[in-house]
């Protein structure tokens, strides 16, 4: 089974699910859920372009 990181993120943040709850739902370990969410949050942060404003 391939876990969709974006869907996990939505379930974790908006659905307020714990690693354990997500692991049970997706039939994997809580460690796998944590690893996927950590990976997704890093990718998500890398996509945010920030403008540097000089004064």
In this predicted model, what pLDDT tens digit does every residue of 12-49 receive, in sequence order? Answer: 999 999 999 999 999 999 999 999 999 887 666 556 55
The pLDDT of residue 13: 92
**Confidence band of 9 (pLDDT split at 50, 70, 90):** very high
Q: What distance in Å separates the CA atoms of residue 38 and residue 51, rounded to the nearest whole number? A: 25
**Confidence band of 2 (pLDDT split at 50, 70, 90):** confident
8 A C-beta contact, residue 36 and residue 43: no
pTM for this model (two decimals): 0.72
């Amino acid at each position: 089974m391939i876990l969709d990181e974006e869907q996990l993120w939505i379930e974790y943040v908006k659905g307020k699910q714990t690693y354990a709850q997500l692991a049970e739902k997706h039939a994997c370990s809580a460690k796998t859920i944590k690893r996927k969410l950590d990976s997704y949050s890093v990718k998500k942060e890398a996509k945010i372009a920030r403008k540097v404003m000089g004064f």
